[in-house]
Amino acid sequence: MQKTNIPQAESKSADLVAQNLELLKQIFPEVIKEGRVDFEALNDLLGNYGDTAEERFCLNWAGKANARREAQKRSTGTLRPCPEESVDWNTTDNLYIEGDNLEVLKLLQKSYHSRIKMIYIDPPYNTGKDFVYKDNYTDNMKNYLELTGQDKKLSTNTESDGRYHSNWLNMMYPRLKLARNLLTDDGVIFISIDDNEVANLRKVCDEIFGEENFVAQAIHKNNSMKNQSKLIGVTTEYVLLFAKNTKSLKDVFWRIKKKGAKDINSKFQQLKEQGLSIDEITAEIKEMYTRPKYTHLSRWNKVDKNGVFKDADLSREGGPKNYTITNPNTGEECIIPKRGWGKSYEELLRLQNEDLIWYGDNNTPPGMKSYLEEDTVSVPDNFWYFDNSIDTRWVKEVFGSLVFENPKPIEMMTQILELHTSKHDIILDFFSGSATTAHAVMQLNAEDGGNRKYICVQLPEPTPEESEARKAGYATIPEIAKERIRRAGKKIREKKEEDIHKQAQKDGLFIDLAPDTQDYGFKVFKLDSSNINAWDSDPDNLETALNNSLFNIKEDRSEDDLLYEILIKYGIELTEKINRHTIDGKTVYEMGAGSLIVCLADSLSTAVADGIGKLYKEISPEGVDANCRVVFKEAGFNGSDEVKTNTLLILKQHGITNVATV
């Protein structure tokens, strides 16, 4: 009997080079010759005739070419599921991934290409003290496993290194390149950074995202001073903001809630209930403006019997000037603004009758009243003040000690999320640290009823030997982060219940709490080498290589390990619901309404193939033949070509022709 061969399932991450070639071929078919790019022809088409490399405006550094190539390389690694470290494994849509983010970003290319609405990262600032991962472009996966598996100390990037800035840029370049692929067309990326590398980061982002897609560089002022400076104490950092395509943002109007508006409005109501006069309330609320959190609300400096309101200018350059209005408080004519009135006389009378104009003394032109509500919004500016001592206190309170220093302000993160995410978007943070992003996503979902999902990626960086974290039993940063998500989720849930009870008490109602449907869970995955043994061409290992070719799945790997590797390589989301069926005593996994069916059992029979065919017709009656892929384990056929051949024929009879093995 002729030997039957079933194609091997995809074993690597997305082939970005092949995809780029295909895109170029669609635009300029004449520059692709025998599968390669004719760069001379391409330059002619683009009008590049005479520039030399030395004359071009660009940022170059030692290792840039290798960093660019690394972004194109395919990963042979996988992500192994860890249900025992997860929360709500079967229902959650959130992901927490431990591993080198370069390899993880490669593995996410198929499943999450153009799916991420917003990326936030807080990478190492390259201060000379923080960790910078030195990629091994020969075999980055092997390098990662050696560094983490043998408990070697991860190196820092010091100024004595001859390639101090180059090392940092070589780390960032391929990661940003891969991150861009994951953004939706209207997606954006926020990057926290300080003075050490902000100039270089801006140039690299100009190159990767396009200079035209730069949106803003926000200045973030916190309440701490970096005392390493002998001349000027630095209290600011930066947040760079780039869009994947600013043209896709043209219909997006960014608004943020006025920080402090809710507090001031609440304070007004509280003082009013206490029976204070309007003047007393005014004095109390004005005192709030002296605090840094509220200084940007200084224009809200009038108090009316109905609430707090702001001054709005009634003047306009070139406006009508040939009329006067009377101040009803004094009976005298109001001073005319130097620029002239911005509204007609009739409009001013209407506003006056509706009590929408405030009046000062006779030397001050009147202004508009605009009442301050809890949800008053404004266009965000690029100066941000967030008190990170609040977050430090939160860590100490919840963990009992400062197990993670300098956490990012959760208030800043929720503001960033409010700017550009809707209630069902996916947010990615691949330098996730203590998981502030995950915390902020849960917090905002609790506030607005959203169902945002997060993907956090963090290298299993060891905590310092004498640190508070190590004393508390946390050996790595991910251990702290996962525990933070658990505890933050519990506190958010409790706060929601408490608020509902308080409101019910206030309204005199009895509340029977409905089930809380918010997602507080997360699935944990860990980066590892492929579950499938690679062919070893070393003649000294021939016996092992031959054995691996017959039993190609690693002995220490489970069916779930292999199943999720198939999902990754086929481009299916890691949170996809997996349905389990039993056919002829074998477990069959089905997902996506039958778009992928997997059986990894041993000793397969034709009854399994027939059952899979019937299952496909049952769950996807309108399915198209090409829409169903079936994957078996090669060793599951026990070397029987007869079972393999009959399996293919039976599946074909059921309309399934896309079959592969691992």
Distance in angstroms (rounded) separating the CA atoms of residues 304 and 369:
9
- What amino acid occupies position 232? I
Of the candidates 626, 564, 555, 621, the one whose C-alpha atom is nearest the C-alpha of residue 589 is 564
Mean pLDDT (whole number) for 299-318:
70
Distance in angstroms (rounded) separating the CA atoms of residues 645 and 637:
10
Statement to judge: residues 408 and 549 lie in one domain: no
pLDDT of residue 645: 93
The residue out of 378, 398, 420 marking a domain boundary is 378
Per-residue pLDDT at 278 exceeds 80: no
pLDDT of residue 20: 83
Statement to judge: residues 369 and 388 lie in one domain: no
Statement to judge: residues 238 and 114 lie in one domain: yes
More confident residue, 352 or 559: 559
pLDDT of residue 623: 47
- Structure tokens that stand for 354 in this block: 């509706």
pLDDT of residue 251: 76
CA atoms within 13 A on the CB side of 179: 31
Per-residue pLDDT at 523 exceeds 50: yes
More confident residue, 306 or 141: 141
Asked if the structure places residue 121 within a domain, the reply is yes
pLDDT of residue 149: 65
Asked if the structure places residue 523 within a domain, the reply is no
Statement to judge: residues 199 and 292 lie in one domain: no
Asked if the structure places residue 164 within a domain, the reply is yes
How many CB atoms within 10 Å of residue 76? Answer: 19
Per-residue pLDDT at 517 exceeds 50: yes
User: Mean pLDDT lowest for which of 173-177, 178-182, 296-300, 504-508?
Assistant: 296-300
Contact 385, 221 (CB under 8 A): yes
Per-residue pLDDT at 379 exceeds 50: yes
pLDDT of residue 546: 44
Question: Facing residues of 240 across strands?
Answer: 191, 217
Of the candidates 399, 416, 417, 413, the one whose C-alpha atom is nearest the C-alpha of residue 481 is 399
Residue that the structure tokens 């002239």 belong to? 340
Statement to judge: residues 551 and 631 lie in one domain: yes
Per-residue pLDDT at 164 exceeds 80: no
Statement to judge: residues 490 and 629 lie in one domain: no
Statement to judge: residues 268 and 237 lie in one domain: no
Q: In sequence order, what E strands does 155-306 have?
A: 183-193, 214-226, 234-243, 256-257, 302-304
Q: Residue 424: which pLDDT band, with cuts at 50, 70 and 90?
A: very high
Query: How many angstroms separate the most distant Cα atoms in the chain?
Result: 110
The percent of residues above 90 in pLDDT, for the chain, comes to 45
pLDDT of residue 385: 86
Per-residue pLDDT at 244 exceeds 70: yes
**Beta-carbon contacts of residue 68 (< 8 Å; ≥ 6 apart):** 173, 174, 177
Asked if the structure places residue 288 within a domain, the reply is yes
More confident residue, 499 or 204: 204
Q: Residue 151: which pLDDT band, with cuts at 50, 70 and 90?
A: very low
Asked if the structure places residue 649 within a domain, the reply is yes
Contact 110, 573 (CB under 8 A): no
pLDDT of residue 432: 96
What's the first-to-final CA gap in the chain, in angstroms?
A: 23
Statement to judge: residues 219 and 339 lie in one domain: no
Per-residue pLDDT at 625 exceeds 60: no
Per-residue pLDDT at 319 exceeds 80: no
Asked if the structure places residue 447 within a domain, the reply is yes
* Separation of CA 274 from chain center: 45
Alpha helices in 449-584 (DSSP H): 468-471, 477-507, 542-550, 559-570
User: Mean pLDDT lowest for which of 267-276, 357-366, 387-396?
Assistant: 357-366
Statement to judge: residues 405 and 283 lie in one domain: no
Distances (CA, A) of 278 to 273, 274, 286: 12, 12, 12
Statement to judge: residues 202 and 345 lie in one domain: no
Asked if the structure places residue 484 within a domain, the reply is yes
Mean pLDDT (whole number) for 9-20:
78
pLDDT of residue 150: 46
Q: Residue 30: which pLDDT band, with cuts at 50, 70 and 90?
A: low
Contact 444, 491 (CB under 8 A): no
Statement to judge: residues 495 and 385 lie in one domain: yes
Of the candidates 527, 465, 479, 462, the one whose C-alpha atom is nearest the C-alpha of residue 153 is 462
Contact 489, 512 (CB under 8 A): no
Q: What is the CATH number of the domain that holds 415?
A: 3.40.50.150
How big is the chain, counted in residues?
Answer: 662
Contact 606, 643 (CB under 8 A): yes
Torsion of CA 242, 247, 249, 252, to 10 degrees: 150
Please state the φ and ψ torsions of residue 421, each to the nearest 5 degrees. -120, 145
pLDDT of residue 649: 95
Statement to judge: residues 152 and 136 lie in one domain: yes
Q: Are strands 523-528 and 78-81 parallel, antiparallel or unpaired?
A: antiparallel
User: Mean pLDDT lowest for which of 20-34, 428-442, 540-554, 584-598?
Assistant: 540-554
Strongest mean pLDDT among 88-97, 125-134, 302-311:
88-97
Structural domain containing residue 621: 532-661
More confident residue, 292 or 255: 255
Mean pLDDT (whole number) for 512-529:
90
Mean pLDDT (whole number) for 620-640:
77
Per-residue pLDDT at 196 exceeds 70: yes
Domain count, the chain: 4
The residue out of 507, 524, 543 marking a domain boundary is 507
Per-residue pLDDT at 547 exceeds 60: no
The residue out of 441, 474, 507 marking a domain boundary is 507
The pLDDT tens digits of the residues spanning 57-89 come to 778 899 998 999 998 898 989 999 999 999 999
More confident residue, 78 or 261: 78
Per-residue pLDDT at 618 exceeds 50: yes
Instruction: Calculate the average pLDDT of the chain.
Output: 84
How many CB atoms within 10 Å of residue 653? Answer: 11
Mean pLDDT (whole number) for 317-323:
75
The percent of residues above 70 in pLDDT, for the chain, comes to 82
pLDDT of residue 1: 46
Per-residue pLDDT at 153 exceeds 60: no
* Separation of CA 18 from chain center: 27
Asked if the structure places residue 225 within a domain, the reply is yes
pLDDT of residue 267: 82
Distance in angstroms (rounded) separating the CA atoms of residues 306 and 329:
18
